[in-house]
Chains A and B, each alone.
Chain A
């Protein structure tokens, strides 16, 4: 008889699953932050498009948010 086997296994699996989910959520947030920051920079290029300065409007390249951290 192995008493409380399910409880023990659940405890181990629960900790692993929560860590996994937090990691995934953190990556998801990082990706979402990138879109927001990129859009802000893109909006700033509207002014450049209407100016006489030479060259292509710049500064709206892919933005990289700081590396994802599971616990902040």
Chain B
């Protein structure tokens, strides 16, 4: 048996090793995504807590963050685009000297938008909010190969630009943002 199948263990390793790497890469990627999502939820809650403390009334805070993840499989290309969003509503007040409740919306690192407070809206009032996020990606990959004598030098460079155009409609007010992809996969 052993004489017939040469390098059986090595061949099996190739199959098993590949499957193991794929499975673990999926797990790591997924756990990283959950990790970032949880961080976003926590930060939103803290932001709402502080707003509530400031007004001595209830506060709501919404945070939307876009990120480009690292591309492990093909490093010379942009990674996967992920977005995380979370909202928090907090009431932290002693019931005296209260200001109007606040409601804020924040996209990436931009300054938070204050959503106007409407007291006692008419019964049956329905408010709709629409958001559109468009990513425009421009990439230039340059591959050069220089041969002199017995030496070959190859160089590959990637020049990538990613622009996020966001249009957010909140209670009839439209807000526009243009953010560029920066270091660490963040949009500024």
User: Which residues does A use to contact B, with CB under 8 Å?
Assistant: 1-2, 5-6, 9-10, 12-13, 16-17, 20, 24, 27-28, 31, 34-35, 38, 42, 45-46, 48-50, 52, 56-57, 60-62
Chain B interface residue bracket vs A: 20 to 34
* B39 interface hit (Cβ, 8 Å): yes
User: Which of A28, A48, A61 has the most chain B CB atoms inside 10 A of its CB?
Assistant: A61
User: Which residues does B use to contact A, with CB under 8 Å?
Assistant: 2-3, 7-10, 12-13, 17, 20-21, 24, 28, 31-32, 35-36, 39, 42-43, 46-47, 49-50, 53-54, 106, 112
Known: A6-B2, A13-B13, A49-B53. A57 touches B47 (CB 8 A): yes
The answer to whether B35 touches A35, judged by C-beta atoms less than 8 angstroms apart, is yes
The answer to whether A48 touches B50, judged by C-beta atoms less than 8 angstroms apart, is yes
The answer to whether A17 touches B13, judged by C-beta atoms less than 8 angstroms apart, is yes
Give 6 CB contacts A-B under 8 Å. Answer: A6-B2, A31-B32, A50-B53, A57-B43, A60-B39, A62-B39
In-complex Cβ contact of A31 among B8, B35, B47, B49 (8 A)? B35
User: Which of A46, A56, A62 has the most chain B CB atoms inside 10 A of its CB?
Assistant: A56
